[in-house]
Structure 1
Amino acid sequence: MIENKKARQYTPTTIKRLFALSGNQCAFPDCDVIFVLPERQEIIAQICHIEAAELGGERYNPNQTDDERRDYNNLILLCPNHHVETDDIVKYSVEVLKEMKRNHELKILSQPSSFEKFRNNQTSLAFVINQLCQENLIEDTTTSFDINEKISYNNIVAYRPTIEYYKAFQGKLRMLYSEYEIQGLLNKQYLLQNIKSIYLKVKGKFVTHSLIEIEEIRKNADEIFEEVELELWKIIDKSTNLQIDIPFEAINISLKIIMVDAFMDCKILEEPPKK
């Protein structure tokens, strides 16, 4: 089979249109492969011809011109696995692939835009709480993080038992963070940095002189921790994407897990000096 180069010379507009309307996802039904991720330079999308680019290819149409073969309407973005699977011309006819592409694009276009999500006040905090509430939370006492040093450095008293207990769920939370970041559903750092900004704002109420900052924090550590929690509850209360059938107790536990993880990640209260 001789490669038809012209049929594969896609215009920049065609490529942009394909990626924009794909929603960064494979068009194959129920495929959750994400084409481009922030931490990965490789782009795994494959531009596939519905009617083949050259003679001998799947679903080749001799009546098409090369311009028609490379046109947006004859192309579909698939992941490598489903590119191979759709080579089955009996199962995946021209009509089936066009319908697949059309349904996928309609699904993407029906989803709220980033602006609409912002306007509707959907938050990463509520998203993570939703996921945690579906998990079977099992304590993991094997964490190697020396939490006592940070607790002592900040002089936490009332919240010490809470932190010591909920640190056991850090592994589960971080596994969820990683899983949903890979799927492109969450950016953990946005959530943690937002918690950090809330802490800094609360901290500013108590710290009046930078020369004795840590002493002010040590005197008010429990109150600072509590105020951060109250601010996070305000975000939860306004979040439109929090599942309405989640019991209060489950939300409370999930928030504690998130806060303790943020504490361990030095987003709440201060990090001890390195020795």
Structure 2
Amino acid sequence: MNRPRYYDYIHEKLEVLAQRITTNGKLNLLHLNIHSETLYRELLSILYEYKLQPSNIGKANAEAIDLIDEDKKVVVQVSSTATKAKINSTLGKDKIKELSEEGYRIKFVFVANIAGNLRGNTYNNIYNISFDPNNDIWDKITVMEKISQLTIDKLTSVHDLIQKEFGERPGILKLSSNLAAIVNFLSKENLYDVTNSIQLNDYGIEEKIEFNELNDIKESTFDEYKIYYGMLERIYKEFNREGSNKAVSVLRKITSFYEKEVLNKESTNVEKFLNVIGKVQEHVLQSELVKEIPEEEIDMCIRIIVVDAFVRCKIFKNPRGYTHVAT
């Protein structure tokens, strides 16, 4: 089914956006807030069939609201700061009096923080604009709940919007790819029987993890999946004996995904690593070779392959004097 895959993709991208907005806000870097307003204008228009337009072009945000639908009489304030003071400040603007007299309803969308604690509060709605805190305060959870209930056509529209904003648009369906072939072979292995005859230099792996500031996912990712190094080594050797370039092409493809992440100077190395996993998954899911494999198994196999590429020094920087961890 496409539904869970589309939902997970949308959720991942909006969650990463929210985290980056929060982090950048602490550094007083607010460019993502501006772009998020445009994204949510498009997103809310799909979710609620609005015809939202920016209300403050050329007015330096002086209107106290960000988006307006003149047909449905709705105005939307998009913000990363989810506080009662923020709502009261907006409700007290002179523009709100004019909007109230014209019969508008105001809604607040908080794109970074969870706003559940703001619902049910009493606010200083001095101009009596239509505003129900229980229904007119939205956050990323509210948005994802709405998305989860969409028809498949609308869900596809949201997926396409998010993909255009955040990721590569898929091309024509590929019948095969070497990465998908490796995933296919790996999925047939008994992962409970980890017979690893290759001794790994664990100190070297841990040194590289620390050097690249990846300790936050050391236990959940590297310790969990590095044990399959020997299994992948055997699969790669089988391909090489057939005169195939699958092993080389797979590792170089993963390297190419990593190279694109290196150009993103704003993301952390943990985000870069997880983004590489996401890019590999997008690539693999386009292949017919994996259509019969449950998505959870695909995700597990891809994590094994990407961690293995890290161990083989194909992605991320190596500490001085560090080459390969297999001994």
> Could you tell me the TM-score, scaled by structure 2's length?
0.42
> Could you tell me the TM-score, scaled by structure 1's length?
0.49
Structure with more relative contact order (C-alpha pairs < 8 Å, separation 6 or more): 1
Q: Which has the larger radius of gyration?
A: 1
